[in-house]
């Protein structure tokens, strides 16, 4: 048979011809179908075999190369796949009834050489020759894994990992890979909405923007600039956040600008030193860090790829993990000292550690020791609820470590206590000689960048103080205004005083109404609420004007990950039927309504402006950042080595009360996550998790419907027994859809009582 005439005509067919699958097909066309020399019947195995909700195994295609097994063993340290049977009948299989559930299991799809493992969310929705591939990053947590977005006909079809040896090696987690259904969801906002006669009605862009500008100007002249507040989002790009704070500061004239987990958290500006230092062990035996302490942060749920790097560091690099968390988190299986502290006992624990460190050194009169002179081991046991033995081991490791890295997350750093916790951490880190390597990690994709961009009520872009003698004039000159000097209100203060001293809010990419019912009530009292969103969230439903924005995949933007690496997320697709616009464009046009000519013609020009406005980002233009990102140098922003006393009021719990803890889970079932149908089974669900001992004491069983109540509110949830939760603690993860734990915590630490619901 002759090669067909059509093979050379169509451009897409040329692409096919270059693919290896095609070459095999071409052989068949030229020489006819192969004639098998086998006389036995073909072996038949499972072709559609689910090894998890998201991965399908075709056992007939599998060549038993072991790569999937090795990945799960060598990287995840979870041997969930194995070889079964012998000889020609060998198959890859899971243990009966135990689907693969490693948080990064999707990577085995990428490394399977024959396509025996397929992505159940994406499979069959494209052929490889017809998709467009755009290098991008994942924006679902602060690791910022490098990804490639595969699109076809204006829809996102698949996300796969892209190599960046500084960040994610070549791996990504399952949330980043599979939970992207929301990008193409039909419920996305497509047109500006304005409230007319009580309902939100579609209008044109000029009408919406003119209304926003008129209303904001009216409120500014009647109630003053400080009656207006802006809320940015750590889930959005630097460009969006930079322009929002510029809008608030330059055109409204207020420092009332913050984001969730912004000024309410006692953070440190400098982020992790470098992820690559943790990744080193795979290339050689000398890890940069020999001891890693995790304080109130659970990488397995919050930062899955960091979890992968840590496992590697422990197993290959012989690094030691010290873990302090109210939950027996997954990484405690590596037998490092584990201090399961009681929420509210954070400072007691850290002071106790400092005390033990001083005792071990027989140091009696240094400044640091005087701060903890009154601390006893009894307090460590009773207030913090931590075994002294584990604490001693931890202190010994820290004291002997050459380079210890200490990481803390937002959970223990919230509110007034958070400031004390940070101070106590600084005391401990400085005393043991690791002050430079104490790091705060935010959890959202751009937690770091949002702070760098000055979306904070008390700092200008670049971590510059409001009255800084160098930074402030620099920005005033660039923006051509005199900037306000009074510090603004933080995120929680803005929402607490909404409807009272705050008359109008401009909320971009945040949904505070779903976080606390009293905030929702406050938002209702506002004179004017603008929400810039991609979905009609609870907050957007209350707005006077809703401005439709686009997601990270549909516009250009840069994100700064937890190690201060600025990375590009390039536009991968665009829906031709929507009127939604990128954040920078909306804000730029809005500024035009205020007679300001910002004159940005693209996201890249905003990126360029940031590189002038923020000295830390100097030179970071779109082209200079490149495909692998660029880290800014935190030298000079590192913590000071001053010691100060840290104290925390004791959180007392009556008999029958439990201390409440939040913290994030990867599969939270939140607004966006819930839109990927294939993942509905793995979502956390509306549970409150307690220790079985507590449940027995309270007379509750697994699955009981319970009311969790304290003076701030009531949540109705189902009870889940979880031995990893410390006795005396109730755990409700943050951002569960419909279970606003933030309402009960009220920005601090609280106790709750749990009782059966009546019915």
Backbone angles phi, psi at 92, to 5 degrees: -90, 135
Nearer to other proteins, 15 or 637 (CB): 15
Closest approach of Cβ 589 to other proteins, in Å? 34
Closest approach of Cβ 158 to ligand SF4, in Å? 14
Closest approach of Cβ 125 to other proteins, in Å? 7
Bridge-based pairing state of the strands 687-690 and 713-721: parallel
Candidates 11-19, 37-45, 317-325, 499-507 — which segment interacts with other proteins by CB under 8 A?
A: 11-19
In this structure, the number of other CB atoms found within 10 A of the CB of residue 601 comes to 9
Which residues fall within 8 angstroms of residue 65, CB to CB, at 6 or more apart?
Answer: 113, 114
9 binds, among other proteins, ligand SF4, none (CB under 5 to 8 A by kind): other proteins
Q: Are 119 and 109 spatial neighbours (Cβ–Cβ below 8 Å)? A: yes
Closest approach of Cβ 140 to ligand SF4, in Å? 4
730 binds, among ligand SF4, other proteins, none (CB under 5 to 8 A by kind): none
Which residues fall within 8 angstroms of residue 652, CB to CB, at 6 or more apart?
Answer: 751
Binding to other proteins by residue 44, rule CB under 8 A?
no
117 binds, among other proteins, ligand SF4, none (CB under 5 to 8 A by kind): ligand SF4
Nearer to other proteins, 131 or 737 (CB): 131
Closest approach of Cβ 679 to other proteins, in Å? 16
Closest approach of Cβ 37 to ligand SF4, in Å? 23
Nearer to other proteins, 43 or 127 (CB): 127
Of residues 125, 134, 501, 746, which one binds other proteins by CB under 8 A?
125
Binding to other proteins by residue 130, rule CB under 8 A?
yes
Lay out the site mask for other proteins across 81-120 (x = CB under 8 A, - = otherwise). ----------------------------------------
Binding to other proteins by residue 18, rule CB under 8 A?
no
Binding to other proteins by residue 10, rule CB under 8 A?
yes
Nearer to other proteins, 130 or 286 (CB): 130
Which residues fall within 8 angstroms of residue 197, CB to CB, at 6 or more apart?
Answer: none
Rg (the chain; Cα; Å): 27
728 binds, among ligand SF4, other proteins, none (CB under 5 to 8 A by kind): none
Structure tokens at 400: 């002997």
Closest approach of Cβ 161 to ligand SF4, in Å? 8
Closest approach of Cβ 736 to ligand SF4, in Å? 17
130 binds, among other proteins, ligand SF4, none (CB under 5 to 8 A by kind): other proteins
Nearer to ligand SF4, 602 or 671 (CB): 671
Per-residue H/E/C for 535-603: CCCHHHHCCCEEEEECCHHHCCEEEECCCCEEEEECCCCCCCCCCCECHHHHHHHHHHHCCCCCCCCCH
Q: Tokens 């270059």 correspond to what residue?
A: 18
DSSP element (H, E) containing 744: helix 741-745
Of residues 101, 153, 204, 681, which one binds other proteins by CB under 8 A?
153
Q: Is 480 left (phi over 0), alpha (psi -120 to 50) or beta?
A: left
Q: What is the DSSP letter of 3?
A: P
Of residues 42, 89, 124, 601, which one binds other proteins by CB under 8 A?
124
What are the C-alpha distances in Å from 102 to residues 50, 79, 98, 105, 108? 15, 9, 11, 5, 11
Q: Which of 145, 50, 150 is nearest to 104 (CA)?
A: 145
Which residues fall within 8 angstroms of residue 323, CB to CB, at 6 or more apart?
Answer: 293, 294, 329, 331, 332, 336, 337, 338, 339
591 binds, among ligand SF4, other proteins, none (CB under 5 to 8 A by kind): none
129 binds, among ligand SF4, other proteins, none (CB under 5 to 8 A by kind): other proteins
Nearer to ligand SF4, 496 or 554 (CB): 554
47 binds, among other proteins, ligand SF4, none (CB under 5 to 8 A by kind): other proteins
Q: Which of 153, 159, 152 is nearest to 122 (CA)?
A: 159
Closest approach of Cβ 148 to other proteins, in Å? 20
| C-alpha span between 626 and 614 (Å, rounded) | 19
Closest approach of Cβ 48 to other proteins, in Å? 6
Bridge-based pairing state of the strands 528-533 and 504-508: parallel
Q: Tokens 């994100």 correspond to what residue?
A: 559
Closest approach of Cβ 60 to other proteins, in Å? 11
Residue ranges binding ligand SF4 (CB under 6 A): 62-68, 92, 112-114, 116-117, 138, 140-141, 143-145, 168, 172-173, 175-176, 304-305
134 binds, among ligand SF4, other proteins, none (CB under 5 to 8 A by kind): none
Q: Which of 740, 686, 691 is nearest to 712 (CA)?
A: 740
660 binds, among ligand SF4, other proteins, none (CB under 5 to 8 A by kind): none
Closest approach of Cβ 10 to other proteins, in Å? 4
Of residues 43, 47, 525, 677, which one binds other proteins by CB under 8 A?
47
- Give the length of the chain: 759
What are the C-alpha distances in Å from 271 to residues 401, 477, 561? 21, 29, 9
Residue nearest to ligand SF4 (CB): 176
Q: What is the DSSP letter of 340?
A: -
Binding to other proteins by residue 318, rule CB under 8 A?
no
Of residues 9, 44, 86, 711, which one binds other proteins by CB under 8 A?
9
68 binds, among ligand SF4, other proteins, none (CB under 5 to 8 A by kind): ligand SF4
Closest approach of Cβ 738 to ligand SF4, in Å? 22
The C-alpha angle with vertex 483 and arms to 481 and 488, in degrees rounded to 5, equals 150
Query: Buried b vs exposed e over 461-495: b needs ≥16 C-beta within 10 Å?
Result: bbbbebeeeebbebbeeebeeebbeebbbbbbbbb
Helix (H, G, I), strand (E, B) or coil at 708: strand
Nearer to other proteins, 34 or 284 (CB): 34
Q: Are 220 and 228 spatial neighbours (Cβ–Cβ below 8 Å)? A: yes
Footprint on this chain of other proteins (rule: CB under 8 A)? 4, 6, 9-10, 12-13, 15-16, 47-48, 123-125, 127, 129-130, 153
């Amino acid at each position: 048979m002759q090669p067909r005439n059509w093979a050379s005509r169509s451009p897409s067919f040329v692409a096919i011809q270059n693919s290896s699958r095609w070459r095999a097909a071409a052989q068949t066309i030229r020489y006819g179908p192969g004639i098998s020399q086998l006389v036995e019947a073909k072996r038949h195995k499972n072709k559609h075999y689910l090894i998890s909700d998201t991965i399908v195994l075709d056992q007939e295609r599998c060549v038993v190369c072991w790569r999937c097994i090795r990945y799960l063993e060598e990287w995840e340290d979870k041997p969930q796949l194995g070889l079964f049977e012998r000889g020609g009948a060998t198959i890859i299989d899971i243990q009966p009834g135990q689907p693969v559930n490693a948080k990064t299991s999707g990577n085995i799809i990428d490394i399977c050489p024959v396509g025996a493992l397929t992505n159940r969310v994406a499979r069959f929705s494209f052929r490889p020759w017809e998709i467009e591939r755009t290098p991008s990053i994942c924006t679902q947590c602060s690791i910022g894994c490098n990804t490639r977005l595969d699109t076809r006909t204006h829809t996102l079809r698949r996300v796969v990992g892209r190599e960046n040896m500084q960040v994610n090696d070549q791996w990504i987690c399952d949330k980043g890979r599979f939970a992207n259904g929301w990008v193409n969801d039909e419920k996305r906002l497509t047109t500006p909405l304005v409230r007319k006669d009580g309902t939100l009605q579609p209008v044109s862009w000029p009408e919406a923007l003119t209304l926003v500008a008129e209303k904001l100007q009216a409120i500014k002249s009647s109630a003053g600039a400080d009656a207006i507040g802006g809320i940015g989002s750590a889930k959005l790009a630097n460009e969006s956040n930079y322009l929002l704070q510029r809008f608030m500061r330059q055109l409204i004239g207020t420092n009332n600008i913050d984001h969730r987990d912004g000024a309410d958290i006692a953070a440190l500006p400098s982020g992790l030193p470098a992820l690559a230092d943790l990744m080193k062990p795979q290339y050689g035996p000398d890890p940069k860090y020999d001891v890693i302490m995790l304080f109130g942060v659970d990488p397995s749920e919050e930062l899955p790829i960091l979890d992968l790097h840590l496992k590697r560091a422990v197993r290959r690099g012989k690094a030691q993990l010290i873990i302090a968390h109210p939950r027996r988190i997954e990484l405690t299986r590596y037998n490092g000292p584990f201090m399961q502290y009681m929420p509210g006992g954070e400072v007691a624990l850290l002071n106790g550690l400092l005390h033990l460190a001083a005792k071990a050194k027989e140091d009696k009169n240094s400044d640091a020791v005087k701060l903890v002179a009154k601390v006893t081991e009894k307090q460590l046991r009773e207030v913090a609820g931590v075994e002294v033995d584990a604490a001693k081991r931890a202190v010994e490791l820290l004291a002997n470590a050459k380079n210890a890295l200490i990481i803390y997350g937002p959970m223990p750093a919230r509110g007034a206590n958070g400031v004390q916790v940070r101070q106590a951490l600084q005391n401990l880190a400085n005393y043991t000689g690791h002050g430079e390597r104490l790091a705060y990690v935010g959890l959202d994709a751009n937690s770091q960048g949002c702070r760098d961009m000055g979306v904070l009520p008390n700092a200008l872009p670049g971590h510059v103080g409001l009255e800084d003698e160098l930074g402030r004039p620099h920005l005033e000159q660039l923006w051509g205004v005199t900037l306000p000097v009074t510090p603004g209100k933080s995120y929680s203060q803005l929402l607490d005083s909404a409807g009272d001293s705050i008359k109008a809010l401009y909320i971009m990419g945040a949904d505070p109404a779903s976080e606390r019912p009293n905030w929702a009530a406050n938002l209702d009292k506002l004179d004017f609420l603008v929400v810039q969103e991609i979905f009609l969230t609870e907050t957007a439903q209350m707005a006077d004007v809703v401005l439709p924005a686009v997601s990270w995949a549909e516009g250009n933007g840069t994100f700064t990950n937890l190690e201060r690496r600025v990375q590009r997320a390039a536009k991968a697709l665009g829906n031709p039927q929507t009127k939604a616009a990128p954040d920078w464009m909306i804000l730029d046009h809005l500024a035009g309504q205020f007679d300001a000519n910002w004159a940005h013609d693209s996201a890249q020009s905003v990126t360029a402006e940031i590189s002038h406005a923020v000295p830390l980002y100097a030179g970071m233009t779109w082209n200079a950042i490149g495909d692998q990102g660029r880290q800014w140098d935190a030298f000079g922003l590192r913590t000071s080595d001053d010691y100060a006393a840290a104290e925390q009021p004791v959180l007392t719990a009556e008999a029958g009360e439990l201390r409440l803890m939040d913290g994030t889970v990867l599969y939270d079932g939140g607004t966006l996550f819930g839109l990927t149908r294939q993942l509905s089974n793995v979502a956390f669900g509306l549970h409150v998790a307690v220790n079985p001992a507590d449940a027995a004491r309270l007379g509750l069983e697994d699955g009981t419907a319970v009311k969790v109540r304290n003076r701030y509110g009531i949540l109705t949830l189902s009870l889940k027994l979880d031995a990893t939760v410390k006795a005396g603690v109730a755990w409700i993860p943050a951002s569960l859809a419909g279970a606003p734990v933030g309402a009960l915590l009220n920005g601090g630490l609280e106790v709750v009582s749990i009782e059966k619901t009546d019915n």
